[in-house]
Chains A and B, each alone.
Chain A
């Protein structure tokens, strides 16, 4: 082999720094469509007006106005409480699904088939899927119809409007958000670890709690975060299906629709901070990076 051949060519140089070059496209996207927009809402939330010329007059008024407004507690409670409840419902429904898929469905083909089945409704339009609950849960839907003809109730229940709507629509919309990371976390558990626990005579519920569940926690937490922030950011369901229950997200949309930009920005900032706080607290408890590294 002669010496010149041994020099680093262009491709080798690129390969050597590939880990940084590979980050570039993703980072550009993040910068343009995440970091700049985020800093804009934070920035504009501190101004009185946002006109074509740009933001004008620095102020803290927007935040003071929100935290002194009489609706503030209700809004925060609605936002937080409903999103958290949706998380728990999704967890209760979704985790067993992920668990069974990983540990009880033995054939890879069957598992693949079931996951595909779960995905199909996703292609059906979201609004249509929500509306499709009307004939079931609506005022003249079959549940109300059955209950009334049985004489259990006199007036139809408002299942699809008001708070209960959020607790039906959100979990069904975001169920996969919970199943998916839990499933990934469960597949990462070495079956030998579970077998070892069994061999060491741990009773089934201990095996589950101390080994399986604990090891899948990063996925569960990831699922929680996904469902929580999706619900936080959804203003359409509260507006259309929950009779305009005031949530932070809906307020943002309302003020934005009326071009009250800085106030909408302040509310958005609060929303982002809440999301980050929840993320921070959860990360203190569980290291979600375990799911990926």
Chain B
């Protein structure tokens, strides 16, 4: 192994460490008995996870498993992110398939889609608020999903279009010369060849919408998604290890989910 490979290994490890460092601290401190989120750890407890509430504490001190709002927000988040994932994967696929052909105004359209990411979140949030106000539309989780889709599609689009096999069109032509109808061409040639990217687009849609606060915050009323709920709680209430417990639960679920997904996908990766 050359020094280059060694350097690469060390570097990759460091970046992963950088990203995971706060996660480790989060997990460790979620078992801490005191209310302050700092060292030293005086004692270990599961209170932040499962302690039944007495009914008199501030929300910041209610254990995560007994925080009703947390579960409402989690539900909202799951709904928004799943809808966004589906929308993203659908729109990215259709748009990418259309944009790979030479069509009038292709560049303009591409930039227009990219614009969905370029317009700063706070500006778009405000614009959507105006639109709802002017037309008297009630905000809903579906509207949130739609707004987040505008933001996730560019990412998925770039991923899919840059990974397209340059020969994809040739395969489709070959299939149609071999008597495949347009539907068969799509089902047997196009889709199998881009399925990896289609799934990736869905995952991107899920991940980006899961973490998005700014756009959601502007449009969403009530408990909101997990991201906006926790952000609001943190900005008005004391910071307690409860939220680390919440993060830890999500992290564990995420890990299991990703491990399953990675296992499935790694059998497909060449």
Q: Are B118 and A229 in contact (CB under 8 A)?
A: yes
For residue B119, which residues in chain A have a CB less than 8 angstroms away from its CB? 34, 38, 229, 233, 272, 275
Contact of A126 among B12, B38, B126, B211 (CB under 8 A): B211
For residue A124, which residues in chain B have a CB less than 8 angstroms away from its CB? 23, 26, 247, 250-251, 254
Q: How far is the CA of A116 from the CA of B265 in the complex (A)?
A: 11
Contact of B118 among A24, A129, A132, A225 (CB under 8 A): A225
Contact of B97 among A22, A239, A272 (CB under 8 A): A22
Q: Are B117 and A112 in contact (CB under 8 A)?
A: no
Closest to A16 in B: B182
For residue B254, which residues in chain A have a CB less than 8 angstroms away from its CB? 120, 123-124
- B173 contacts chain A at the CB level, 8 A cutoff: no
Q: Closest approach, in angstroms, between the C-beta of B242 and any C-beta of chain A? A: 10
Closest to B4 in A: A104
Q: Are A127 and B19 in contact (CB under 8 A)?
A: no
Q: Which of A32, A104, A230, A249 has the most chain B CB atoms inside 10 A of its CB?
A: A104
Q: Is the interface of B mostly helix, strand, loop or mixed?
A: helix
For residue A140, which residues in chain B have a CB less than 8 angstroms away from its CB? 36, 38-39
Interface size on A, residues (CB 8 A): 104
Q: Are A116 and B217 in contact (CB under 8 A)?
A: no
Contact of A135 among B37, B112, B270 (CB under 8 A): B37
For residue B181, which residues in chain A have a CB less than 8 angstroms away from its CB? 11
For residue B117, which residues in chain A have a CB less than 8 angstroms away from its CB? 226, 229
Contact of B158 among A134, A272, A292 (CB under 8 A): A292
- B72 contacts chain A at the CB level, 8 A cutoff: no
Q: Are A264 and B270 in contact (CB under 8 A)?
A: no
Tell me the chain A residues, 197-240 only, with Cβ under 8 Å from chain B.
222, 225-226, 229-230, 232-236, 239-240
For residue A128, which residues in chain B have a CB less than 8 angstroms away from its CB? 26, 230, 243-244, 246-247, 250
- A108 contacts chain B at the CB level, 8 A cutoff: yes
User: B interface vs A, CB < 8 Å?
Assistant: 4-5, 7-9, 11-12, 15-16, 18-23, 25-26, 29, 36-39, 87, 90-91, 94-95, 97-101, 103, 107, 109-110, 112-113, 115-124, 126-131, 133-134, 146-147, 149-150, 153, 155, 157-159, 161-163, 181-183, 203, 207, 210-211, 213-214, 217-218, 226-227, 230-231, 234-235, 239, 243-244, 246-247, 250-251, 253-255, 257-258, 261-262, 265-266, 269-270
What are 8 A-B contacts with C-beta separation under 8 Å?
A: A25-B94, A26-B94, A33-B146, A34-B119, A108-B269, A128-B244, A187-B163, A256-B218
What 8 A-B pairs have minimum CB-CB distances, sorted nearest first?
A: A37-B127, A233-B120, A132-B22, A104-B8, A15-B182, A233-B121, A123-B254, A292-B161
User: A interface vs B, CB < 8 Å?
Assistant: 11-12, 14-15, 18-27, 29-30, 32-34, 36-38, 40-41, 44, 50, 52, 54, 93, 96-97, 100-101, 103-105, 108-109, 112-114, 116-129, 131-136, 138, 140-142, 145, 172, 175, 180-181, 184-185, 187-188, 222, 225-226, 229-230, 232-236, 239-240, 249, 252-253, 256, 261, 264-265, 268-269, 271-272, 275-276, 279, 289, 291-293
